[in-house]
Chain A
Amino acid sequence: MNEMNITSAQYVEEDGVNTSIKATMDGKVLSVPIEVGNRHYDEIMRQVEAGTLTIQEAE
């Protein structure tokens, strides 16, 4: 209900493993854990499934 405004999302990796998502949400740069139940992660995945957001691969 009433989605967050997410303008970018990119995986962050450490030792070859994705550890978090760096996302700009409502104008703030956030580090979002890859964890179901975290409201930011849940919203990112909801928008990905809806086709309105793509998570960029880690650099």
Chain B
Amino acid sequence: MTSQARQLADKAVVPTGRKNLIINGAMQVAQRDDEVTGQTETNGYKTVDRFQFWTYSGGTYTLSQDGTEAPQGFAHSHKVLNTSATTTVAGTGVTFRHRIEAQDLQHLDYNTSSAKPVTLSFWVRSDTTGTYAVRIYNPDSGRMVTKTYAISTADTWEKKNITFSGDTGGVINNDSGYAFEVAWWLAAGTDFTSGSASGSWEAYSSTKEASGHNVNLNSGGNWYITGVQLEVGSVATEFEHRSFGEELALCQRYYTKFDFPQTTPFFPSHRQTGNTVRSTVTTPVPMRTTPTINASGQPFLSYNWDNSSNFLVDDGTSLTVIGSSLDANRFTISNPDVTGVGSNIGSVYAYNGDLECDSEL
């Protein structure tokens, strides 16, 4: 290799070590549900972990982790299916999104002259051909960048590579909030398309979010995605496959679901005061923040006072989160509704219920 070629090679930004900034890009993990139906006017995490769905005035959707439709080398994809006739209005918006924690993006050197480019690659398939928008939004700087890709052949998997320049004028805070929100637009009204995006980082404008987007999923329209990778540099490299266990652990920093299908010992518990019982929940990995909790299932908990035959059954709907020790993987929940016959807790069981712990971005 000539010295000039060597210099160029040395300058090239080549990802080393873990390169994919996206978690669950192969859509392997779906702790919440395999499928949800009837999604309209909704915003949040529905099926596959770490990816959220937002729709406003844009139809009714079934979202699913698809185990049969995937390109070679992948076992899963995420499917979006519009099940209703849709009339696009100005405010129509349908997006599939992924948020990345700010402290995991410090190596991009944003807000400096050395800001690095990133390349987004993914496999996509749809029965609706046309031009689709994808944008990255950085709430720390209030800046965004929008680009487009084309689906040229219906019902055929296509690999897309899109490079975004580094932002020399937009800071990424070193914290546990999100700094990148990658959004794939599936339908967009003029509220989101009337602006003209530059294709480079610029001040956020809702009218530029889906600039160039010209398709909408009509009734029966579908859109699949998998193999999502975001990496430093201007070249899309081969997808970084991670093991299911590794990917699950990465997801559990943001969401953990405990299933109690049978009568199962609950977490260590003690009587706090009066009718209040506290339990210490231990999660598989430390979570990003103290999580929001949701207990479902009827009934959910039973409390056995003094290990006697006196059980109190409670639906768990009054469980409240108290606080956490984020350097360790535990937090405290409290139930103020435990009225019993004794002064000490014997055993606590959960059955036929789920406990969801959510510290998503």
Task: Give A contacts to B, CB under 8 Å.
Answer: 1-5, 12, 14-15, 19-20, 22, 26, 28-33, 35, 37-41
Contacts and interface: CB of A to CB of B under 8 A. Distances in A.
B358 A20 contact: no
Contact of A14 (B54, B288, B336): B336
B177 interface: yes
Interface of B: 41-44, 54, 56, 93, 137, 139, 176-177, 181, 272-273, 276, 288-294, 317, 319-324, 333-334, 336, 358-361
A7 B8 CA distance: 58
A29 B333 CA distance: 15
Contacts of B54: 2
A39 B361 contact: yes
Nearest to B336: A14
Q: Say what secondary structure dominates the interface of chain B.
A: strand
A38 B334 contact: no
Contacts of B321: 19-20, 31-33
A52 to B, nearest CB: 15
Contacts of B317: 29
A39 B178 CA distance: 10
Of A15, A20, A29, most B-chain CB atoms within 10 Å: A20
B132 to A, nearest CB: 19
A15 B42 contact: no
A1 B359 contact: no
Given A12-B320, A19-B320, A31-B319, A38 B42 contact: no
Contact of B43 (A20, A26, A37): A26
Given A14-B276, A14-B322, A26-B42, A31 B294 contact: yes
A6 B321 CA distance: 19
B136 to A, nearest CB: 13
